[in-house]
Structure 1
Amino acid sequence: MTADAATDRDPDVFDIVHESDLIRVRKVLRAQAEAVGLNLVDATKLITAGSELARNILNYATDGRGRISIERVYKDGRRGVRATFADDGPGIDDIDAAMTDGFSTRGSMGLGLPGARRLVDDLTLTSAAGSGTTVVIVKWQR
């Protein structure tokens, strides 16, 4: 559903390499959410999911490095925000397990990926062992 959505400007693209980049992720997501008219609850859900995915890059990607692209999208009269999180890290061996509540490779609560999925309208995860991970999320205006 998100691949063929139109955009109206170049995306905001930047690297995620340090904790301070999480602040930038949240600020840009908030600005884009406001630009497409997401209500406060939906904007907060988008920002929370995006913050979690950016933190996953810092925690799991090789050298804690990755990149994000954030853009406004339009499809069938709807407006939304799409954010793409990508890294060249070790990848995810078992995507189904990673998307299950409670699954964790580091002893955390295991709510990151499944929690992010519940907060947004669309989530696509592409990964394989040794080839990095890409997560695309979209939140549509209601």
Structure 2
Amino acid sequence: MTPPTPAEEVAIRSGDDVVRARRLVREVAQTARLSLVDQTKLVTAASELARNALVHGASGTARVELIQAGGRTGVRAVFSDQGPGIADVALAMTDGYTTGTGLGLGLGGSRRLVDEFHLDTAPLRGTTVTVVKWSR
């Protein structure tokens, strides 16, 4: 396994930062040679996750890196916040569940757009969502 390239990080404190995080994800996805469809899926998920960090966590970070494993190239994006955490993960992952402030995808929709999805959350500890999209 080739070690990943250095990760780039964007602080998420405003709507402009959400746009910067999306742009970074797209740039790394292009470097990974993801198809246009897969780039769009990953950027859409990243937009939702960055917006969640801003809205629910008051601020956060997006860390994006090019990764390689098993002859494949992909993108890993980690969205973290120090907010209140998600009290009901099952509800938050339910299709169609949204608080009405994002794209309406919710966490479940974001999960369907990527190849790997990991959610780590606890009340008063914040939330970290890690997503990976592999080139085909």
What TM-score do you get using the length of structure 1 for normalisation?
0.89
What TM-score do you get using the length of structure 2 for normalisation?
0.92
Contact 1:11–1:71 (8 Å) recurs in 2 = yes
Root mean square deviation of aligned Cα = 1.7
Counterpart mapping for 1:52-63 below 5 A: 52-61=48-57
Q: In the alignment, which residue of structure 2 is the partner of 1:32?
A: 28
Q: Identity of paired residues, percent?
A: 47
Contact 2:97–2:106 (8 Å) recurs in 1 = no
Shift in Å at residue 5 of structure 1? 7.7
Q: In the alignment, which residue of structure 1 is the partner of 2:97?
A: 103
Q: In the alignment, which residue of structure 1 is the partner of 2:44?
A: 48
Gaps of 5+ in 2: none
Residue by residue, what CA displacement relative to the aligned partner does 1:36-94 show, whole Å, maximum 9, x if unpaired?
10010000000000000001111111xx2101100001111110000000000000112
Residue by residue, what CA displacement relative to the aligned partner does 1:86-128 show, whole Å, maximum 9, x if unpaired?
0000001121221111334x35686310110010000100001
Q: In the alignment, which residue of structure 2 is the partner of 1:12?
A: 8
* Cα distance between partner residues in 1 of 2:63 and 2:79: 7
Moved >6 Å (runs of 4+): none
